[in-house]
Amino acid sequence: MMDDIQREDEELSLLEAIKTINKTVRVWEDVVEIETYGVDIPEKNPIFTDKGKKNYPHPVNDKVLNEPKIKPYHMVNLENEYLHIFFLPELGGRIHRAIDRTNNHEFIYHNTFVKPVLLDSLSSTIPGGIGFIWPQHQKSYTYSPIEYGILQNSDGSKTVWTSEIDRITGLKMMANFTLYPGKAYLEISVQIYNRTFLPQTFSWWANVAVPMNDNTQSIFPSDVYAVYDQDQDIVSKYPIADSLDISLHKNLIGTTTYMTDHSEYDFFGIYDNKKNAGTLLIANHHIAPGKKQRMWRDEDFDQVSNRNLTGEDSSYVELMSGVYTDHKANLSWINPYEEKSFKVYVLPYKSIGAAIKNSTVHAAINLDIDSESHRATLHVYATSVYNIAIIDLRSKTKVYINDTVTISPTQPFSRTIILNTDEQPHNLTVKVKDADNNILVAYRPEQERLQKLPSLPPDMVLPSEMKNNEKLYCAGLHLEQIKYTMLESELYYLEGLKRDPDDIRLNVAYGLLLLRKGLFRLSENHFLQAITTLTQHNSNPYDSEAYYQLGLSLKLQGRIDKAYSIFYKATWSSTWQDSAYFHLAQIACSQHAYSDALELVDKALSRNNRNCQARNLRIAILRKLGRFDDAINYALETIQLNVSDFGSSYELYLLDRLGDDLDRAVKVKEDLISLMRNDVHNFISLANEYSHSGLYQESVDLLDLYLARNGNSKIYPMIYYYLGHFHEKLKQMERAQAHRKSAAVALSDYCFPNTLDDMFVLESALAANPDDSYAHYYLGNLLYDKRRYSDAVEHWEVSRNLLDTFAIVHRNLAIAYYNHLEQPEQALESLEQAMTCDMNDARVLYELDQLYKKFNYVPEKRLEKLEVQLNLVKTRDDLYLEYITLLNITQQSSKAYDLILTHPWQANGREKEKRQCVFSCIELAKQSIIMQQFSEAINVLQSASKFSSELTLRNDILYYMGLAYRGIHQNDEADELFQKATENGQQTSTDAIYYQGLAYLNLGNDKKAKNCFNQLIDYGEQHMFNDRILNLSVSDCRIFHDDKNKRKKINSYYLLGLGYLGLDIKSKAYTHLTNVLKLENSHQEALLHIADVEFQGRRLSFASVSRRTSFFLPQPPELFHPIPSNESSFRRLSQAPVTINDEGRFYSPRTPTNSDPRRVDNSLTVPADDSRLRSWSLTQTNKPSTLSKSVTPTGGRHSSRE
């Protein structure tokens, strides 16, 4: 009681203190020290991902250091009377912390330390706070510094702005974080600007971390009745799914992600029912439909993940608001020089309960209706003080509440009323208005009705299966739009052009794809073909995109006069008018026709006033025309529009340099360098913008600023190459040559060029000096990234011949030889040479092991090679996991299990690590079952269940646990576990179906068991000869491609092997599983199941274990592992031999008399000429087991299988 009184006194004191604070916004900077886990040296090898998430040209950093250090950070504080926001610009400009000052509630989760977490090998994040995921996914450089600044606004609000340029797409994002006086919300205003001359795609997500515990729950609008999982391949009801309220976080275990299907409301959030406070995100649902949450509530093994994210005793959930996207894979187009802008609001709320019915940035409503008592409770929360607020609750026939009250962030409204007994909730309407009768928020309950779950998106079919060109065009465009690299968009375009070479849209789309690759001549042909079709009846087409893209292709080829005419034609229709006029202005400027250029750029700006490059070109033209005052005024106006714009600030420096105030020019220069963060890529980007208009001297002067600031040590090589190129354009050949010599000897680490401008510069460098080995290497990297693989190899081979000791070029060639030139032997030779050149490169060792795996090296040999360099192996998670997998494969599951639990894994989620942990547990449990140590088996399997990623237990775990319970004569518990395995409908993997069938067998339901096994056989037969690739498994290594046909055969043989194994037709099971191992001898599951075939250990068969018995129980634990490759090692495990008779069959001297009548002699047919098989010995128990009566299966669709 005294604690409650003290708490109330503290809250009153706090509120009184807040009332005395002036209603102003404060902003200040200070330095804070935070315990920080640093990252290791970035990967020096370029990471190309032909089939997956793209990261090039960014270096990948896949290791976080284990020991933290105290590190100082610049902290920017933004505060008003209600909120205090903390920014860390050096960590990607993220919000580190946010506090509701009215109750000291931390409505944004934050860590007391900084620790980057690797989500996978190509993406990372800083846990907690507020960050952004754009332009597509989490990046490997999420925690890199970005530009930032502070704005003092005329209305008393203050803004902290951040800005960054994405090197992959060339897009620029600027975010303004604003607090207003008297407002208890944070406004995030965002601009996405396409700086490039090509259409780009993007998505944008606000990623807001909110504290989570057993008292928190998700808040989604009342019209959300279905949610998708992360990959949009499962849809579930919401909030009640399978009798479980998935809005309550205490009901969710494991990593859980779901996103809404659709909502007509703008809000969603999280509420803590114990603290009676929560967090809301609000955005216009018409352009921000994405509402998503992701959480981690893991146990045991997965607590390591949680500690990586949050430390020991805390958890959080990520609220993600998607703008111009509703799902992670659905990106939107943004045209050249287009800007898209939007706002997202983040706000705390309190004292009105969890079940928010509607919220705006002004107020939130919770209307709780109890149908049994006919009571309705209305809660209203406001984000600012409304001394006169009208709260109205009424139905069609009665006014229940019509009060004028004061509401504020510290004074919510609450009222409970009695409804008429015949009142229907959907007839009620709530409105909250201010003194001027403006509606702050309103709500009307929807009438309850049955809702149909939304359908899952259809699978993409192969190009040859598309019915018409319309579908081919849309499919290709879709693949480009979502940046999906597992299927090639050009295959769909080419299929359409094969059917109709004159197709306008396909020619434009494919031409644009070629243009992106730098194949300008080829792209020109397709644009011309599109124009020919467009103008066959009328020379003035409705759409001018083909003209614009043709003009661009010609300009990039240097055919300026022809491009000029074509761009003018593109201006005839409005869609491409501003972009075309801008290019015309650039051409006129490059020809020193400044008056014409000014007229043209004004026309471009009249259509798109937000095009910062056009605005900066206008400033430069005014400067060239001597109109200095006009240029300065326009530069200042541009900065008002976009404070983070580099070009307008650089123009101010150039203009001040022309004047008499040299001190001011020096200050402007220093401000410019500070604005650009002295970042080399920012300088190159701005220099290129000037070069596109022929302003090469301005480009040179800018890069000279960078060199003057940074000296000549460790300069990024492309700076020198660019200076050489620009000086050549200025006819200054000696300076060009000097800079290119500097480039040729500069440090090559992390030089990963990727733009068309980079391509031009490197080509000009090689034209001047063909023996520059590093220029060949850099250009090869760029061309490979643009999927010009043969051209990349040509340059890499020249680089290798010029500099044979350069390890990276050998490694790059190995990737290209294997993936694209079908030269696997050369790939192996190159990669081994790379390893010889640099024996300390763990990445190359990992890739070399993967290549050995592709070459089907036996697991023992691969394991031996890794153990020689075990210290190096331990430095990479993926390589160490491969080592652990090989331990599992080679019968060392106990060691593998211990290593998994003790290794400090870097990446979050770690599905592959968990998979190996489950594998180890199951193998250890099977060994315990063999030794009749059933309680031990149950304990191990319970551990395995905690490592499993699924919300429901895996079928194999349930199956073996059922066997163990049967071993201790708890048949009811065993049957319950078997029954659960048969009911796991969402587990549709191959092995899940197989263990479903085994569970049915142990329940005595042979018919359903056979249906499961026959289903596997049907799948295997259908897909063996089907051109469509069955996506059952993918290659673990993203570097080397899978042979699709080989993978199809592996998957199909494996399906067939499991099916026949389930039906107990062992000879066919053995044949198919052996075929799997011939193609991939490290196939872990095939090795597991073929051991069951060989040792008859599939059904652990004695009366106390299995109701369906037909096998002797093998004794030694090792018998559940693959057979050793030589006789002597195996005989050490054996106690009683099983002989191979003259017909090539195994037989046992203790064949049971009541064996399954489907089998002739309980033996396995093997090829009579297989000498290796003839050297094997098998073991059986010393004591024969008591066998129960077996059941002969009947029926089934495939009688030939019985």
pLDDT tens sequence across 552-576:
999 999 999 999 999 999 999 999 9
The residue out of 830, 848, 869 marking a domain boundary is 869
> Which of 407-411, 456-460, 678-682, 919-923 shows the lowest per-residue confidence on average (mean pLDDT)?
456-460
Secondary structure letter of residue 402 according to DSSP: E
- Number of Cβ within a 10 Å radius of residue 980: 18
Number of Cβ within a 10 Å radius of residue 41: 10
pLDDT the model gives residue 1043 = 84
Residue 1195 tokens read as: 């029926």
Distance CA 976, CA 982 (A): 10
Residue 360 covered by a domain: no
Residues 291 and 422 in one domain: no
What is the mean predicted confidence (pLDDT) over 669-696? 96
pLDDT-derived band of residue 117, with 50, 70 and 90 as boundaries?
confident
The model's pLDDT over 725-771, given as tens digits with 9 standing for 90+, comes to: 999 999 999 999 999 999 999 999 999 999 999 999 999 999 999 99
Residue 1054 to residue 1048: CA distance in whole angstroms: 10
Considering 850, 869, 888, which residue would you say is the last residue of a domain? 869
Residue pair 650/620 in contact (Cβ under 8 Å)? The answer is no
Q: Which residues contact 855 (CB under 8 A, 6 or more apart)?
A: 824, 828
The per-residue pLDDT for range 929-961, each reduced to its tens digit, is 989 999 999 999 988 877 664 445 688 999 999
Close Cβ partners of 593 (under 8 Å, ≥ 6 residues apart): none
Q: Tell me: do 136 and 16 sit in the same domain.
A: yes
pLDDT in tens, 839-853: 999 999 999 999 999
Asked if residue 259 lies in contact with residue 291, where contact means CB atoms within 8 angstroms, the answer is: yes
Helix (H, G, I), strand (E, B) or coil at 62: coil
The amino acid at 444:
R
Please give the average per-residue pLDDT across 1089-1105, as a whole number.
52
State percent of the chain over pLDDT 70: 84
Question: Cα–Cα distance between 1063 and 341 in angstroms, integer?
Answer: 61
724 lies in which domain range? 676-803
DSSP secondary structure letters along 995-1056: HHHHHHHHTT-HHHHHHHHHHHHHHHHHHHT-SSPP-S---S-SSSPP-HHHHHHHHHHHHH
Confidence (pLDDT) at 415: 96
Confidence of residue 912 (pLDDT cuts 50, 70, 90): confident
Q: Which residues of 1098-1121 are buried (b: 16+ CB within 10 A; e: fewer)?
A: bbbbbeebbbbbbbbbbbbbbbbb
Cβ density class 523-547: b for 16+ within 10 Å, e for less: bbebbebbbebbeeeeeebeebbbb
Amino acid at 567: F
Going 747 to 749 to 755 to 759, the CA torsion angle's sign is positive
Q: pLDDT category, 122, cuts 50, 70, 90? A: low
- Confidence at residue 178, expressed as pLDDT on a 0 to 100 scale: 98
**What per-residue confidence (pLDDT) applies to 1111?**
28
Considering the domain architecture, whether residues 102 and 131 belong to the same structural domain is answered as yes
Which own/partner contact pairs does 540-545 have at CB distance under 8 Å and 24+ positions apart?
540/572, 541/573, 542/573, 543/573, 543/575, 544/569, 544/570, 544/571, 544/572, 544/573, 544/575, 544/576, 544/580, 545/508, 545/570, 545/575, 545/576
pLDDT tens for each residue of 209-218? 999 999 999 9
- Whether the per-residue pLDDT at 1177 is higher than 70: the answer is no
| Cβ neighbours, 10 Å, residue 402 | 11
Q: Say whether both 86 and 178 belong to one domain.
A: yes
Shared domain check, 233 and 109: yes
Burial bucket for residue 67 (CB in 10 Å: 0-12, 13-18, 19+): exposed
How are beta strands 158-165 and 171-179 bridged, if at all? antiparallel
pLDDT tens digits along 267-318:
999 999 999 999 999 999 999 999 999 887 654 444 445 555 555 557 889 9
Lowest-pLDDT range of 699-708, 795-804, 880-889, 1187-1196:
1187-1196
83 and 60 together in one domain: yes
Please give the structure tokens belonging to residue 909: 């989620």
pLDDT at 297: 62
Classify residue 731 as exposed, middle or buried by CB count within 10 Å of its CB (0-12, 13-18, 19+).
exposed
The position carrying tokens 């060109």 is 469
How many CB atoms are closer than 10 A to CB 1126?
10
Final residue belonging to a domain, choices 392, 422, 443: 443
State whether 213 and 94 are in the same domain: yes
In which band, very low, low, confident or very high, does the pLDDT at 925 lie, cut at 50, 70 and 90? Answer: very high
Q: How far apart are CA 935 and CA 941, in angstroms?
A: 10
- C-beta separation of 533 from 504 below 8 A: yes
Radius of gyration of the chain (CA): 34
How many Å apart are CA 483 and CA 52, to the nearest integer?
9
Preceding omega of 1193 cis (within 30 degrees of 0): no
* In-domain check, residue 822: yes
- Say yes or no: 194 and 146 in one domain: yes
Instruction: Indicate whether 704 belongs to any domain.
Output: yes
Give residue 1129's pLDDT.
29
Tell me, yes or no, whether 341 and 408 share the same domain. Answer: no
Answer whether residue 651 is part of any domain. Answer: no
pLDDT, averaged across the chain: 85
Name the more confident of 1154 and 46.
46
Angle made by CA atoms 1113, 1116, 1120, in degrees to the nearest 5: 75
Distance CA 692, CA 362 (A): 47
CATH number at residue 700: 1.25.40
Q: pLDDT grade, residue 70 (50/70/90)?
A: very high
Letter for the amino acid at 182?
A: G
For residues 215 and 319, membership in a common domain is answered with yes
The percentage of the chain sitting over the pLDDT mark of 90, rounded to a whole number, equals 68
Nearest to 331 by CA among 444, 168, 469: 168
- 910 pLDDT band, cuts 50/70/90, is low
Q: Give, for 616, the enclosing helix (H) or strand (E).
A: helix 612-624
Q: Which residues pair with 204 in a beta bridge?
A: 323
pLDDT in tens, 497-546: 999 999 999 999 999 999 999 999 999 999 999 999 999 999 999 999 99
Query: Reduced to 3 states, what is the DSSP secondary structure of residue 580?
Result: helix
pLDDT bin (cut points 50, 70, 90) of residue 1176 is very low
Does any domain span residue 345? yes
Question: What is the CATH number for 430?
Answer: 2.60.40.3110
Tell me if residue 726 falls in helix, strand or coil: helix
Burial class from Cβ neighbours inside 10 Å (0-12, 13-18, 19+) for residue 295 reads buried
Do the domain assignments include residue 210? yes
Q: How confident is the model at residue 1103 (pLDDT cuts 50, 70, 90)?
A: very low
Tokens of 557: 């080829």
The phi, psi pair for 132, rounded to 5°, reads: -125, 140
What integer pLDDT is reported at residue 285 of this predicted model? 96
CATH code of the domain in which 74 resides: 2.70.98.10
For residue 812, being part of any structural domain is answered with yes
- Same domain membership, residue 843 and residue 797: no
| Average confidence (pLDDT) over 1073-1102 | 76
The count of structural domains within the chain is 4
Residue 553 covered by a domain: no
The arithmetic mean of pLDDT across residues 1173-1197, rounded, is: 28
Same structural domain, 257 and 406: no
Per-residue pLDDT for 1125 more than 70? no
Give 187's strand partners.
178, 345
Alpha-carbon span 50 to 815, nearest angstrom: 11
- Residue pLDDT, tens place only, 999-1032: 999 999 999 999 999 999 999 998 887 755 434 3
